[in-house]
Amino acid sequence: MTGTRSPSRLRRLCARLWHDRGATTVVEMAVSMPLLMGLALVGTDVVNLAILHMRLNQLAITVADNASRAKQASATGAPQFREYDVNQVFTGASLSVEDLDFPNNGRVIVSSLEQNASTGQWIHWQRCWGKNTWVSRYGVQGTGATGTGFAGMGQTTVPMQAEANSAIMFVEVAYNYSPMFLNGVVTGTVIRKEAALYVRDDRDLAKGVVATAGLAAATC
C-alpha cells in the first residue's frame, strides 16, 4: 500500500535511530537542567543568607558603637544624650541597610544597661527603630529599676552587667528573612543579632535621653 513502509525498511530505520548518537549532549543537558537549576537557586539563597547574617551583625555593632559615642556637650554639667542623637544613630543605621526594606521587615532595639540605686542591673531607657513589634529578649524600659533581681542582658550563662557610674549600649537587631527564590518551599525565619559597647566618654546618665524640641522620642 502506498505510504507504508516495508518491515525491512522499518527495521533499518529503528536500527539507525538506535545507533544514532547525535545530540546526546543536548539530551543529557535537558535531563540534568532541572537539577542544576535547583542547585543554583538553593546555592544563591544560602549565599544570600550568609551575607545577610554578616550585614545584620555589622548593623548591630555599628548601632552600638554610634550610640556609645554620640553626645552633646553641656555647659552646666556632663555631656547629654538627646533624642536628636538617637535619631542620628537610627538614620545612620537606615543608610546601611536601605536595600533590605528594614523599617518594614526588621527592628533595632537600643537599651541603656546601668546600675540602679541598689547596685542591681537596670534598663534605664530603651529606644526602637522599625515598624515590627518585636520586643527585647531581656526586658522593656524600666526593668530592674529597683532591687537586684534583674541579672543583666546577654545570651550567656553569665549575663552582661554594667559597672557603677557607667552604661552599656546594648543593641538587639531582629529581621524577618524570606528566601529569594524558595519562598514557597523554605519558610522564612527571624534572624536576631546582638552587640554591646560601654559608653566611651562622660555622659549625664541620670538624665537618660534628653528631649529634643520638635522631635518625637523613638520609644518602643
Taking only the tens place, the pLDDT of each residue in 21-74 is 666 666 666 676 677 676 777 777 788 889 999 999 999 999 999 999 876 666
Strands of the sheet containing 106-115, edge to edge, are 121-129, 106-115, 168-177, 189-198
Per the prediction, the chain carries an average pLDDT of 85
Residue 104: all three cell numbers together: 518594614
Residues 6+ apart with CB under 8 A from 210: 72, 80, 81, 82, 83, 204
Q: What percent of the chain has pLDDT over 70?
A: 82
How many CB atoms sit inside 10 A of residue 75's CB? 4
pLDDT band at 1 (very low <50, low <70, confident <90, very high): very low
pLDDT of 194 strictly over 90 = yes
Q: Tell me the C-alpha distance between 175 and 159, whole Å.
A: 23
What cell does 150 get? 534583674
Contact (Cβ atoms closer than 8 angstroms) between residue 130 and residue 103: yes
Stretch (H or E) spanning 31: helix 24-69
Average pLDDT estimate for 95-101: 90
Closest CA to 137 of 120, 159, 117: 159
User: pTM (2 decimals)?
Assistant: 0.79
**Whole-number pLDDT of residue 58:** 95
Q: How confident is the model at residue 178 (pLDDT cuts 50, 70, 90)?
A: confident
pLDDT confidence of residue 20? 65
